[in-house]
Amino acid sequence: ESTGWVCFVIEGHNFWVNSVMFSPHGSQIVSGSHNNTNKVWNMQMGAAISLPMEGHTSIVYSVMFLPNSSQIVSGAGNKTIRLWH
């Protein structure tokens, strides 16, 4: 049974992806991974447009773009929240 159509697949994390979110303008995606990093992706190219955002010392479980902003907030398993510019 089909559940929908895949538009495209973005690959680039070297571990599980736990969280994804579209940017407010819809042209980017932020993802948070089991390898303690976040990445920002260009939707049209399907490619990473940032180096991995490193700093969490535990699994990233949640990522989000701030409304009307390019800033990102992420939460990890070590009970920390980070704001990225």
For the chain, domains (ranges, CATH) are: 17-84 (2.40.10)
Q: Looking at the chain, how many residues does it have?
A: 85
| Higher per-residue confidence, 19 vs 2 | 19
Alpha-carbon distance of 10 to 84, in angstroms, equals: 22
- Please give the average per-residue pLDDT across 59-73, as a whole number: 94
Asked if the model's pLDDT at residue 85 lies above 70, the reply is yes
| Higher per-residue confidence, 44 vs 33 | 33
Q: Is 79 left (phi over 0), alpha (psi -120 to 50) or beta?
A: left
Read off the pLDDT band of 73 (50, 70, 90).
very high
DSSP, res 32: E
29 within 8 A of 46, measured Cβ to Cβ: no
What residue spans of the chain are helical by DSSP H?
Answer: none
37 within 8 A of 61, measured Cβ to Cβ: no
Q: pTM of the predicted model, to two decimals?
A: 0.87
- Please give the average per-residue pLDDT across 18-37, as a whole number: 95
pLDDT at 70: 84
